[in-house]
Amino acid sequence: MKTIKTIIPFLSLILTLSSCSKNDDDVESIQATPQYPMKTLVESGHMEVKYTKVNWVNTYEMGYEFKSFKNGKITALGIRIPDEGDFRVTLWNADTDEILATIQVVSTSGLLSFEDINPIQIQSGVRYFVSVNTNSYYHFNDSGTILFPVEIGDFLITKYGANFGIAQVLPTQFSSVSYSGMVDVKFTPNN
C-alpha cells in the first residue's frame, strides 16, 4: 500500500510534466518598429526648409549629434539631397571620434534614400554623430529659433555640426539654431 501511495504521486508528476511541453517554433518574436529620427523631426514641422543649395562651390561634412534612450542597432544610413549622385555618409562614436560605418548612398534628387549597413549596436547615453559630405543640401530654420536639443522618439538630437571641406573628419563647428543637410539613421531599439 505504501508503494502505491508513492507511485501515484510520481506518475501524476510525470504526466503533468510531459503535458507541459513548449514548442518554441510557435512563439512569434515581436520586432520593434524602426525609427528615423531626422525624417520624423522634419515631418513633425519642428523645422522647415529656408533655402536649397545645389552644386554649391563649398563642400561640407555635415550632420547631427544624438543619443539614444534605448540600446539597439542602426541598420541603414540615409540622405535627402537636392541633387543626384553618390554621397559619403559616416556614422561616428562622438565620445571616441571612432568611425563606426561609412557608406556611399545614392541620392535620387530630393527623395529620401537609404542604404543598409552591417548592424551597428549602439548604447543608451553614448553620443553618436551621423554626417554626409556634400555641396548640395537643404538648409532649415536660419531665423534664430532654437532647434536643438530636441527629443524625437527614443532619441535626443543634441546639435547640428559641420566642417568645411571633403575630409572625413568629425564635425567640430556646432549650432543649435540651424540645420543643413538631411542625413539620417534607421534605428531599431532592443525589445
**What are the extents of the domains in the chain?**
37-189
DSSP 54: S
> 94-127 burial by CB neighbour count: b if 16+ within 10 A, else e?
beeeeebbebebebeeeebbbeebeebebeeeeb
Grid cell for residue 171: 564635425
Instruction: Give pLDDT tens digits for 120-176.
Output: 999 999 999 999 999 999 999 867 789 999 999 999 999 999 999 999 999 999 999
The predicted model scores a pTM of 0.83
Q: Check: CATH 2.60.120 for 37-189?
A: yes
